[in-house]
Structure 1
Amino acid sequence: MSWEAEVAELRRREEMARRMGGPDKIKRQHDGGKLTVRERIDQLLDPGTFHEVGAIAGRAVYDDAGDLSDFSPTNFVFGRGRVDGRPVVVGGDDFTVRGGAADAAIWQKQVMAEQMALELRIPMIRLVDGTGGGGSVKSLEMDGRTYVPLLPGWEHAVANLSMVPVVALALGSVAGLGAARAVSSHFSVMVEGISQMFIAGPPVVARTGVDMTKEELGGSDIHIRAGAVDLAVATEAEAFAAARRFLSYLPQSVYELPARVAPQDDVNRRDETLLSVIPRDRRRVYKTREILDAVLDDGSFFEMGRMYGRSVITGLARLDGWPVAILASDPYHYGGGWTADAAHKIARFVDLAETFHLPVVHFVDIPGFLIGPEAEQAGTIRHGARALAAVYQASVPWCSVILRKAFGVAGAGHSNHTRLRYRYAWPSGDWGSLPLEGGIEAAYRADLEKAEDPAALLQQIEGRLNKVRSPFRTAEAFLVEEIIDPRDTRPLLCEFASLAAPLRKAGPSTFGYRP
């Protein structure tokens, strides 16, 4: 006697589960330009590596004889798989079953997915396509009661942020708890046109007197500019590729170190364009990303959050094959000044580097905090102080390259001054408590008011002070350690990455990561 009949029944139930919401619902998913959850998992993971857990969980219907006559699977599919050979946990909402609403789910599956990633210490990838919360109001009538809200398993989701890389791909209309799951991650992606995200969707918002479409209320363009998500892409395939690339820079968990890849770029490469990329006229801008492309390993820069806090550039890259975290100023936006949004972006990114043991390279051109009434109304100084705290709490190796400006409190935050000042300055360096252009008239007001030709005197004063502001004067006093030929930046940073590599320490950071 064998258990062949039971195995056959198991296979029948698994096949019923793979039907998801049925042909009509699958067609509706495809007609909306979206893949099904199982198609998404197949495209995301290495072929043939998905091991599903809880495949036959769902709602069964039995006939009078007690035999299974129909089966509707739960609308959350999860299990283990591999991405570029590395194990991950992946969990995805099945929108073909009750639109991903929780009243068609077995919440223990979602909780177990988070717990599995946490306790196995492997990355968590969420494919979010639904609410994932309390479901529709209809479920209240079905249950005959309401309830006080709770978040089962949220403790695992929070703990994962300080333990393993967490990626969230918003792949449909995501609301409520689904939206919270999407943003409670280290890296989040939306797909243009098919992804929307909101605290509550248009029908609920309409009850407040505001009628909007899904795209108007929570389209990807809104959220990448608000900083709720990190990236918007054109297709689901691009979202999967972004997830894989993000994970390639990170360890499996905080108990490991980010891995080096075989170097493909000459460490001694010197780019001649660096000698003239910074304009001599301090009022003119330049393209920081061109500097990054010239200095970092070829093609290795992976930018995050480009449309939010735009005076600061953040991303992951490699130097001589070693993964590093990149902070950089973008003078095209507020001259590189720190806004409230930029400060929040910095704090979150530095916390990411600290959590996963990534050395930081900071390309500095900071004229200070943004000033004026809008900056005060945004609470810029408080957000800025949080960014400074992140910089000073970070223990990972840190190197700063001062490209041009470093002024005021924000400029002072280019690194933690109590640590070894591993930094380089370009000849275009310009620093102080505040830019001369903003202080001459105030400092010399009396002289200018008495002068017969104030404009000529102002020009004379500026000429004297421009000599004083020379970075070589600062270097004479060893207040900046090294002024370098910009073309030497890459070799020196590759040396930093190699020196920093053995200093990295595996294990949890002293404080937890917050989204």
Structure 2
Amino acid sequence: MSWEKSIEELRRRERLAEEMGGEEPVSRQRGRGKLTVRERVAFLADPGSFHEIGKIAGKATYGADEELDGFMPSNSVMGRARLDGHPAVILADDFTVRGGAADAAIWQKMAQAIKMAAEYRMPLVQMIDGTGGGGSVKMLEKDPRTYIPETPGWSEIVHGLTQVPFVSLALGPCAGMGAGRVAASHFSIMVKELSQVFVAGPPVAIALGENVTKEELGGWKIQGQNGTVDNVVDSEADAFIAARRFLSYLPPSVHHLPGRIQPADDPKRKEESLLSIVPKDGRTPYKPRRIVEAVVDKGSFFEIGHDWGRGIVTGLARIDGHAVGIMAGDPFFLDGAWTADVCDKVTRHMDLCSTFHLPVIHFVDCPGFAVGVKAETAGVTRAGVRAMTAVYQASVPVCSVIIRKAYGLAGSAMMNQSKTKWRYCWPSGDWGSLPMAGGIEAAFRKELTEAEDPAALKEQLYKKFEAIRSPFRTAESFFAEEIIDPRETRPLLVDFVQHAQRIVEPGERQTGFRP
């Protein structure tokens, strides 16, 4: 006696699952310029490495003879795979089955994927392409009742985020639960013109009086610039590449340390361009990414959040083969002042680096928190205090390189200054409780008003205080620990990162209250 007939039935059901939503929905999916869920998995995973779990889960109908009459697979494809040789869990939506609606996904598959990733210490990559929730209101006709909202699997998401890297790729319209899953990640990606992310779609917005398209409501120009998603790319292929690259810097879980790759760059390399990259007038902006790229291992800088919080550049890189987090003030945007969204970006990046044990290199150029009605309306004070707290709560070593400005509360948040100040200052450093410009006029208003030659007195005062603000005077009192030749930055950062490896430790992060 053999089980051959059962195996034949298993293979038949597997073939039905591979048909996804059927010929017409699959054709529509491709007609929109989108890959199918199974094509996406094949492109993302290392060839032949995907092991699917729950392939034949779905909705079946049976005839009078109790034989299978019809089958619609779950619109959630999940399983284990390898990405660049490293184990990972993949969870992918199938839009061809009821538009990726969450109630057709069989929520236990999502929960199982997240549990497996967290328990077996593997990253989770989600490819999200779904309308979320229970789909159309028409579904109420089939089950004529409403329900008190509940989100099965959300507790697994919350716990999983503390354990392993979550990467979310928005690859179509993502609404409701789909939008929530995009945001509930350590790194999220949208594809231009292909994906949208919103709490509810245009029909709901139209009912509320806003006549908008999907792109106008939640397209990349909105969500990429407000920080809902981290990066925006041009194609699905670019999204797969970005996901793999992001994961290449991180450990598989918080219970591991990031791996080191064999460096191909000279640890003692000195870039001559750094000597003149910062203009001497103290006002003209420069490109901070050029500084970052000059000192990290060549070609290793991976920027995160390019389109939002633009007063600061954040990302990941390698120094002597070791993975590090990067922050760099960008004077092209409000002179690098910390606006509310810059503060949110700092908070998020410091949390990412602390969670996954990445030492941080902070290239400081910050004139303080943004000032004015617009900044206050956006909540810069609360956001700023949260960012400062995130920096002080960081569990990883931070090395600050003061490039130019460091003023006020925001300027002080370059590192946790109650700890060892592993800090280097360029000769272009300019710091204090408030900038000299404007401060001299305010402090000497009476004298300037009463002077016979106010212009001459003002010039004299500026000359005097210009000498006082020399970084060498700060160093005389050991308030600036080391002033360095900018060309020495890379070798000194290599030294820092090597020492940082002595104190970074694996494990879950414990974070206190954040205001």
| Shared fold (TM-score, shorter chain, > 0.5) | yes
SS of the equivalent of 1:156 reads helix
Residue-by-residue CA offset, 1:358-388 (whole Å, 9 max, x unaligned): 0000000110000011111111011000000
Residue-by-residue CA offset, 1:331-366 (whole Å, 9 max, x unaligned): 000111110000011011101111000000000011
Task: For 1:119 and 1:150, locate their aligned partners in 2 and report how far apart those are by CA, in whole Å.
Answer: 24
AA partner of residue 67 (structure 2): D
Contact 2:91 2:126 in 1 (8 A): yes
Task: For 2:162 and 2:63, locate their aligned partners in 1 and report how far apart those are by CA, in whole Å.
Answer: 48
1:234-253 matched pairs, under 5 angstroms = 234-253=234-253
Task: For 2:158 and 2:188, locate their aligned partners in 1 and report how far apart those are by CA, in whole Å.
Answer: 15
Contact 2:403 2:428 in 1 (8 A): yes
Task: For 1:426 and 1:329, locate their aligned partners in 2 and report how far apart those are by CA, in whole Å.
Answer: 14
Kindly indicate whether residue 319 of structure 2 is the aligned counterpart of residue 316 of structure 1. Answer: no
AA partner of residue 482 (structure 1): E
Question: 1:513 and 1:308, CA in 2 relative to 1: closer, same or farther beyond 3 A?
Answer: farther
Cross-structure match for 1:91? 91
SS of the equivalent of 1:293 reads helix
Percent identity over the alignment is 57
AA partner of residue 36 (structure 1): T
Task: For 1:460 and 1:443, locate their aligned partners in 2 and report how far apart those are by CA, in whole Å.
Answer: 14
AA partner of residue 472 (structure 1): F
AA partner of residue 487 (structure 1): R
1:84-483 matched pairs, under 5 angstroms = 84-483=84-483
Contact 2:187 2:230 in 1 (8 A): yes
Residue-by-residue CA offset, 1:437-470 (whole Å, 9 max, x unaligned): 0201001111100112212211111011101100
Contact 1:202 1:217 in 2 (8 A): yes
Residue-by-residue CA offset, 1:465-490 (whole Å, 9 max, x unaligned): 10110000000111110000000000
1:42-57 matched pairs, under 5 angstroms = 42-57=42-57
Task: For 1:457 and 1:104, locate their aligned partners in 2 and report how far apart those are by CA, in whole Å.
Answer: 77
Contact 1:161 1:513 in 2 (8 A): no
1:16-55 matched pairs, under 5 angstroms = 16-55=16-55
CA drift at 1:61: 1.6
Task: For 1:145 and 1:102, locate their aligned partners in 2 and report how far apart those are by CA, in whole Å.
Answer: 18
SS of the equivalent of 2:411 reads helix
Of stretches 61-70 and 442-451 in structure 1, the one that deviates more from structure 2 is 61-70
Contact 1:397 1:504 in 2 (8 A): yes
AA partner of residue 116 (structure 2): M
Task: For 1:457 and 1:102, locate their aligned partners in 2 and report how far apart those are by CA, in whole Å.
Answer: 72
Aligned length: 514
AA partner of residue 262 (structure 2): A
Task: For 1:120 and 1:138, locate their aligned partners in 2 and report how far apart those are by CA, in whole Å.
Answer: 40
Contact 1:324 1:358 in 2 (8 A): yes
Task: For 1:150 and 1:119, locate their aligned partners in 2 and report how far apart those are by CA, in whole Å.
Answer: 24
CA drift at 1:161: 1.1
Task: For 1:167 and 1:436, locate their aligned partners in 2 and report how far apart those are by CA, in whole Å.
Answer: 45
SS of the equivalent of 1:269 reads coil
AA partner of residue 28 (structure 1): R
1:498-513 matched pairs, under 5 angstroms = 498-511=498-511
Task: For 1:511 and 1:69, locate their aligned partners in 2 and report how far apart those are by CA, in whole Å.
Answer: 54
Task: For 2:26 and 2:50, locate their aligned partners in 1 and report how far apart those are by CA, in whole Å.
Answer: 21
Task: For 1:105 and 1:330, locate their aligned partners in 2 and report how far apart those are by CA, in whole Å.
Answer: 43
Task: For 1:459 and 1:181, locate their aligned partners in 2 and report how far apart those are by CA, in whole Å.
Answer: 58
AA partner of residue 309 (structure 1): G
Of stretches 111-120 and 92-101 in structure 1, the one that deviates more from structure 2 is 111-120
Task: For 1:75 and 1:473, locate their aligned partners in 2 and report how far apart those are by CA, in whole Å.
Answer: 66
Task: For 1:274 and 1:260, locate their aligned partners in 2 and report how far apart those are by CA, in whole Å.
Answer: 27
CA drift at 1:116: 1.3
CA drift at 1:512: 8.8
Task: For 1:476 and 1:156, locate their aligned partners in 2 and report how far apart those are by CA, in whole Å.
Answer: 54
Task: For 2:12 and 2:91, locate their aligned partners in 1 and report how far apart those are by CA, in whole Å.
Answer: 23
CA drift at 1:499: 1.0
Contact 2:393 2:511 in 1 (8 A): no
Residue-by-residue CA offset, 1:35-70 (whole Å, 9 max, x unaligned): 001100000010001111100011112111111121
Contact 1:249 1:258 in 2 (8 A): yes
SS of the equivalent of 2:168 reads strand
AA partner of residue 252 (structure 2): Q
SS of the equivalent of 1:421 reads coil
AA partner of residue 189 (structure 2): V
Contact 1:76 1:105 in 2 (8 A): yes
AA partner of residue 84 (structure 1): D
* Gapped regions of structure 2 (runs ≥ 5): none
Contact 2:88 2:123 in 1 (8 A): yes
Contact 2:190 2:233 in 1 (8 A): yes
Contact 2:190 2:231 in 1 (8 A): yes
CA drift at 1:103: 3.5
Contact 1:192 1:220 in 2 (8 A): yes
SS of the equivalent of 1:286 reads coil
Task: For 1:147 and 1:3, locate their aligned partners in 2 and report how far apart those are by CA, in whole Å.
Answer: 43
AA partner of residue 476 (structure 1): E
* Gapped regions of structure 1 (runs ≥ 5): none
Contact 1:352 1:513 in 2 (8 A): no
Task: For 1:231 and 1:379, locate their aligned partners in 2 and report how far apart those are by CA, in whole Å.
Answer: 24
SS of the equivalent of 1:503 reads coil
Task: For 2:291 and 2:437, locate their aligned partners in 1 and report how far apart those are by CA, in whole Å.
Answer: 26
SS of the equivalent of 1:87 reads strand
Question: 1:54 and 1:513, CA in 2 relative to 1: closer, same or farther beyond 3 A?
Answer: farther
CA drift at 1:118: 1.4
Task: For 1:228 and 1:18, locate their aligned partners in 2 and report how far apart those are by CA, in whole Å.
Answer: 33
SS of the equivalent of 1:151 reads coil
SS of the equivalent of 2:217 reads helix
Task: For 1:333 and 1:433, locate their aligned partners in 2 and report how far apart those are by CA, in whole Å.
Answer: 21
Contact 1:351 1:513 in 2 (8 A): no
Task: For 1:512 and 1:405, locate their aligned partners in 2 and report how far apart those are by CA, in whole Å.
Answer: 30
Contact 1:366 1:407 in 2 (8 A): yes
Task: For 1:149 and 1:454, locate their aligned partners in 2 and report how far apart those are by CA, in whole Å.
Answer: 70
Contact 1:162 1:512 in 2 (8 A): no
SS of the equivalent of 1:325 reads strand
Residue-by-residue CA offset, 1:176-230 (whole Å, 9 max, x unaligned): 1100000100000000011011111001110011111111111111101011000
CA drift at 1:413: 0.7
Contact 2:316 2:323 in 1 (8 A): yes
Of stretches 98-107 and 397-406 in structure 1, the one that deviates more from structure 2 is 98-107
Task: For 1:219 and 1:369, locate their aligned partners in 2 and report how far apart those are by CA, in whole Å.
Answer: 29
Contact 2:102 2:131 in 1 (8 A): yes
AA partner of residue 320 (structure 2): D
CA drift at 1:171: 0.3
